[in-house]
A and B are shown apart, each in its own frame.
Chain A
Amino acid sequence: MESEKAEGSSAGSEQEGNILQTKMSRRTFLKLSAATAAATAAVTTVGGIALKSRGASNAQSTAQTTTDLFAAVPITLTVNGIPYTTTIEPRDMLVNVLRENLSLTGTKRPCDRMECGGCTVLIDGKAVYSCTTLAMRMPGHSIETIEANNITVTDSTLAALQAAWVTYDASQCGYCQPGRLMAATALLKNNTSPTVDQIKAAVAGNLCRCGTYNHVIAAIQAAAASL
C-alpha cells in the first residue's frame, strides 16, 4: 500500500483546480508576493500601504523591505458616500471587509476566486470583483454597493434597475443578483441605450444558477428606457 504524507488539505497543491486549497494560505502567499515585490520592483504607497509598481530598479526597492505587511491596521473606506473606519489585516479582500467588518452583506461572495461576479461592486464607477481587490488599496476611492439606495436614493441608475428587476422577475433565489445589478449599473452609467449584445457582455461575468438570464436582459432594457 502506497503511503503518502500531506500537510493539511495541501496534498493536491501540485494540481491545478484540485479541490484542496493550495499549500499556501493567503497569508503565506502575500508574504511571498511582498518579498518578491520588494526584490524586483519599486514600492509606491497607496492608502498608506506599500504596493508593487512595475519597471523600477531593484535599488529603489530595498528600503521598503522592512515594512510589516501583516500587522492589523486601521483603514478608512468610503462606501456609498459614508466614511467607515475599521481595522483589517492587510491581506483582507474588499468583499470580506464589506461583509464582515462593515456588515454590508448585500455584496455576496459565492466563489471567492474571481469566477462568478457575485461580489461585484463599483469602484469609482467601474464594476470590480471585490473578492480579488485588496481592501488596503481602497482608501481614496469611492466604493458603491447594492445598499447604496437603502437609506436615501443616491443612485438613480441603480434604483431604476432595482425597480425593473421586480417588474421583470429577474431574480429567483437572488444570491447572484446584487453583483449583477452593480455590473448593470456600471453599464447604464456609460451607455443609456445598450444593445442586447452590449447588455450580455456587461453581465457576462455574473453567473446565475437560477438562470433567469432573459429576464435580466429585459429588465436592463426597461431600466435603460426609463432613465
Chain B
Amino acid sequence: MSLAVVGNPNITRRDIPSKVTGQLVFTYDINPATLGLANDQMLYMGMVRCPYPNAIVKKIDTSAAEAAGYVVLTEADFAEYNLMYVGSGQPHAPISNTVLYPGQVVAAVAAPTTDEVEDAISLITVEYDVQPFVLDVQDALAPNAPQLFPAGNLPPGAVNPENGMFTAATLRIAWGDADSAIASADVVVGGLNSPIELNTAVIQQAEMEPWCDVAMWSGSLPTVPGPTTPTSPESTTPSAPMGTGLTVYDTTEAPFLGQATLAGYFNIPLNSVRVIGSGIQGVGASGFAGMTMGNKLGNAEHVIITAMMALKSGAAVKYGPTRNDHLAITSQRFSERAYLTFAATSSGMLTAIKGVVYENSGAWAGANGSDTISDILNMYNVANMDISLIPVNTNTHHYSGAFRNVGESQGHFFLERMADMTAQKLNMDPAQFRLMNLHGATVDTQFDPQSGYRYSGYEGYQAFQAAMNQFGWSSLWKGWGKPSSTNGSVYYGVGFSAHNGQKGLPIPGSNVKITVLSNGGVFINSGRTENGAGSDTAIPIMGAESLGLTSLDNFNPAMYPGAGYLHADTALTTNDSIQGGSTSTRSSGISIVLACEALKEQWAPAIAAALGVPANTTLIFANNTIYPEGNPSNFKTFTEAAALLTPANGFELGSVTGSGSLLFNTPANTTYRVGGGKFVMVAVDVETAEVRVISAVVGMDIGRVIFAKGAESQVQGGFTQGIGEGLFEEFWNDPTTGRNTNYNFHDFRMATQMDAPDSITPVWVEYVDPVGPFGAKGIGENCSMCVSAAIANAVSNALGNYPFTTTPITKADIVTAIQWMKDKGMLPAQP
C-alpha cells in the first residue's frame, strides 16, 4: 500500500497554530464575554475543603457568607437528589459531611468576581469531629483499623450472599503449581515465606490546565454559542435544542459520559443536557480539552456541584479550580505494594511467579489494579502462576482511577525489578534472560494466558530486540556489579524494561461522520475530544488517505470555507466514545475509514457519469484525483469531483456525508497488546547523589505510524513523564496528621526541562495490525509505561546492583545506596 499522508513526517499538528498564538480558548479561559454573557450573568465558584483525612462535619456556618450576598452549597442542598460515585466506588453526595480524604469539599460558594471567591471562602466556618485515619493498605486491613465504610475498607465488588454486604473486588489467578515449582527451583528470588516487597507511589495527574467547568441552565440566559460556528450543512441542526436545560463547558475527555452523568443526577432527559468538551474559537475549527491523561471522565463531584450552583443561583457559574483544588478533585495513580517471588531453572528458564498486590484505592474508588495483574500474566511464559490483587480503601487521597497507563507502570516496575534481580542471581545478561522468557515471541504464544484470547497484531518481541540493538546493549552492559562506565565521581548505568501493555483496544460505539463539500473542503464530525494526544490530526490523516488526498489542506477552513473538524459537543457531534486508553487511533480510525467508504458509495455514480464510465465502475481515489481502476489518465481532480455535489446531481445539501461506526469489538476473542522495550543510560554522581537520565531508546510495536510528528511527540512526552515517576513524583501524606503536604507544583516535583535526556529515540516496528486502520495500533499510554522500571534498573547498574524496590527512587534512596556501596568497599572511602 503506498500511503501519501499516513505516516508522512511533514504533516504538522492541525491545532498547534491556535495554541502557539493563544487564540484557542480552553475551558479554563472562558469569560462571560466568550459566551456572549454580561459580566453580572456569571458567578465564580470556590470550594471549602476539609484539611483532615477523616472527619465528620459537626456544624457549618454559612450565614456570614450568605449575608454578604454569596451563594453557598452544602450537603443539605443535595439531599433531594441522587447519590453519585467516582471510579466504581461507594455512592455518596457530591458534597458530603462525611470526609474521607484531606481536601474533600464540604461547601461551595459563588461570588460575582474571581477576586471575591477567596473572601467568600474565608467567611464560612466549619466545625469537625476529627476521626482516626488510616493511610497504609495493610494497616487498613488490620483488626481495629479505622473503617472508611460500614462494610470495611475493601471496595465494592460482588455482594456476599451470606450477609448481603459488598465483598472486596479481590482477584486471584493461578495455574500450574507455583508453590511446588518454587520449592524445587534452582534459583529463587524471594521465597514462599520471604517474598520481595516492592512499592510504588500515589501520583497526581498534574496537568497544566486545571479541570474546569462552566455551567448554566436555560431560562434567564441567552442561548450560548457552540464550540465553533459550523458551516458544514450536515451539522447545522443540533440534535437537541440549544439553550434548553443544562449546558456545561467541561474540560472533559468523555463528554457523552458527562452528559449521561448529569442527566441521571438531575433526573432530566438526556437531550436536556449539553456538554461541550472542546476549545472554542480555535483556528481550523478544531477543539481542545484537557491533557494527555485520562482522568476527566465526567462523573466527578465538582461537575455536578457547578451545575447545582448554577441551578441555585440562576446564573452561569464558572468553577476554575485553584491548583490546590485541582489536585484534590481528580483521580490519582494509585500506589501499589507487591510481595513477589520468581523461580527459575539454572539455565535461566522462568518457572514460577507467585505473589500478592495490594492496591491503594484511595477514599472513594473501587478496584482498579487488574491492569497490573494482566501485565504480570502476559509478560513472561511461566508454567506456574499464582497472583492475587487486594484493593483497599484508605484516607490518603480522593480516588484511584484513570491515569496514563493506569496500573501498568506499577505492574511493569514489579515485573522488571524482579526480572533483573532474577537474572543477577543467575549471573546472566538480563537482556538474554528476557529474550529467553518473554511471552509472545512467536505467533503461537501470542495470546492472553488467562482468557486464551489471541493478541491482534503483535511484534513486541521484535520491538524489544530492535531497541536493544539500537541502544547498543551488548557493548554498554559490562556485567553484574559493574557500571557501564565511570568518569570521576560520575557512574554511568544502563538498564531497561521489557514492555507488554494492554492499551489501545478498539472501543465499540465510536461514531464518526465525514462530509465533502462542493468547494472541495472536507469536514469531520466526531464527538471525540482533542486533549493533546493528536487525534485532531490523526483522524483527518486517515480520512484524507481514504479519500485519496495528499495533504490536510482540504480540512483547512481558510482555504475551503466550511471545512474543518467539529469535536465534542453532545448537541452537535456524534458520540465518538472517550479520549483515553490509547484508543482513539484505532477506534475513530476504523470508523473514519468506514465513513469514507459510505461517502464514496454515494458520490461514485456522479463521478462515474462525469468520467463517462458505467455507474458501477470501481473508482480509485489517489493523488488528489479519482479515476476508473486501471485507467488513471481518465480522471477528475478531487476539486472537480466535489463540484459535482450539486442539487442538480441529487446532492440536495451541496455536499455528501458518510457515517462510520465501530459497533463491536471486532474480531471476537481478541485482545490488544503493545510490546517493546525501553533502554536507558543514567549518570549518578556518587558525591552529590544527583541522578540524570542521559539517553533513552524506546522500541515500540506500533503497527503503523499514522501521525508521524505526533507519535514522536508521544514518545518524547511519555518518556519524560516517566522520568518524574521514576525519580521524583510522590503524593505524600504526613503520617502524623494524615494531611497531604504537596498539593502544588513546587513540592510535587515532576520532570522539568532540566531533566530532559539528551536524546529519546523511538524505534518503530511497523507492520500491518489486522484490526487497526491502515494497520495502526494505539501507543500513547505505552510511551510512559515501564520508564520507571527501566530507570530503576539503570540506577541499580550504576550503583553496584543496589536492590531498589521502590519508585520513585528519591535522592534519599540514592544516598542510602551510595552508603551501602561504601560499606561494601565498592566505593573509595570519603577523603
State the A residues within 8 Å of B (CB): 1-12, 15, 17-21, 23, 25-28, 89, 91-92, 96, 99-100, 103-113, 115-116, 118, 145-147, 149-150, 162, 165-167, 169, 171-178, 181, 200, 203-204, 206-217
Contacts and interface: CB of A to CB of B under 8 A. Distances in A.
Contacts of B292: 172-173, 209-210
Nearest to B281: A105
A90 B26 CA distance: 27
Given A5-B127, A200-B753, 18 more contacts: A1-B129, A2-B130, A5-B125, A9-B48, A18-B740, A19-B740, A20-B51, A20-B324, A111-B745, A112-B322, A150-B23, A171-B20, A172-B534, A174-B16, A174-B20, A181-B20, A200-B756, A211-B719
Given A167-B12, A169-B710, A209 B291 contact: yes
A19 B128 contact: no
Contact of B47 (A4, A9, A11): A9
A147 B21 contact: yes
6 contacts: A2-B129, A20-B51, A108-B209, A204-B753, A211-B720, A213-B756
Given A204-B753, A207-B750, A213-B756, A19 B291 contact: no
Contacts of B752: 204, 207, 213
Contacts of A209: 205-208, 291-293, 721, 750
Given A113-B323, A175-B208, A204-B754, A212 B713 contact: yes
A174 B532 contact: yes
B488 interface: no
Given A8-B123, A27-B115, A213-B716, A177 B19 contact: yes
Nearest to B65: A8
B480 to A, nearest CB: 32
Interface in B119-163: 119, 121-131
A26 B759 CA distance: 43
B114 A96 contact: yes
Contact of B210 (A6, A110, A181): A110
A199 B700 CA distance: 30
A174 B34 contact: no
Contacts of A11: 50-52, 128
B736 to A, nearest CB: 11
A147 to B, nearest CB: 5
B440 interface: no
A13 to B, nearest CB: 9
B222 to A, nearest CB: 18
Given A110-B323, A113-B744, A89 B115 contact: yes
Given A6-B51, A18-B740, A19-B740, A1 B131 contact: yes
A105 B31 contact: yes
B121 A213 contact: no
Contact of B22 (A25, A105, A203): A105
Contacts of A12: 51, 739
Nearest to A183: B753
A200 B751 CA distance: 13
A200 B115 contact: no
A3 B129 contact: yes
Interface in B700-752: 709-710, 712-714, 716-721, 734, 737, 739-747, 750-752
Contacts of A99: 29, 31
Contacts of A113: 323, 744, 746
Contacts, number: 269
B396 interface: no
Contacts of B125: 5-8
B539 interface: no
B482 interface: no
Contacts of A165: 16, 20
Contact of B721 (A23, A111, A175, A211): A211
A150 B750 contact: no
A17, A115, A118, A208, most chain B CB atoms within 10 A: A17
A162 B26 CA distance: 19
A10 to B, nearest CB: 7
A173 B293 CA distance: 10
A116 B47 CA distance: 23
Contacts of B121: 8-9, 21, 25
Q: Which 8 A-B pairs have the closest CB atoms?
A: A106-B22, A174-B19, A173-B532, A211-B720, A172-B532, A105-B29, A213-B756, A211-B717
B103 interface: yes
Contact of B744 (A26, A115, A118): A115
B126 A6 contact: yes
B87 interface: no
B129 to A, nearest CB: 5
A207 B717 CA distance: 12
Interface string B8-48: 00001101110111111110110101100000000000011
B324 A21 contact: yes
Contacts of A109: 28
Contacts of A206: 753
B744 A111 contact: yes
Nearest to B324: A19
Nearest to A165: B20
Contacts of A167: 12
Nearest to A219: B20
Contacts of A211: 716-721, 751, 756
B780 to A, nearest CB: 10
B89 interface: no
A204 to B, nearest CB: 5
Given A173-B209, A214-B759, A178 B20 contact: yes
Given A27-B115, A167-B12, A107 B51 contact: no
Contacts of A26: 115, 118
Given A19-B327, A19-B743, A169-B709, A92 B115 contact: yes
Contacts of A17: 741-744, 746-747
Contacts of A106: 21-23
Nearest to B534: A172
Nearest to B532: A173
B22 A145 contact: yes
A110 B208 contact: yes
Contacts of B740: 18-19
A58 B22 CA distance: 46
B574 interface: no
Interface in B284-318: 288, 290-293
A177 B125 CA distance: 39
Nearest to B745: A115
A203 B755 CA distance: 12
B677 interface: no
B580 interface: no
A177 B207 contact: no
B102 interface: yes
Given A1-B130, A9-B121, A15-B739, A214 B756 contact: yes
B20, B207, B209, B712, most chain A CB atoms within 10 A: B20
B23 A91 contact: no
A174 B122 contact: no
A213 B34 CA distance: 31
Contacts of A149: 21
B58 interface: yes
B122 A175 contact: no
A19 B291 CA distance: 22
Given A166-B16, A211-B720, A175 B209 contact: yes
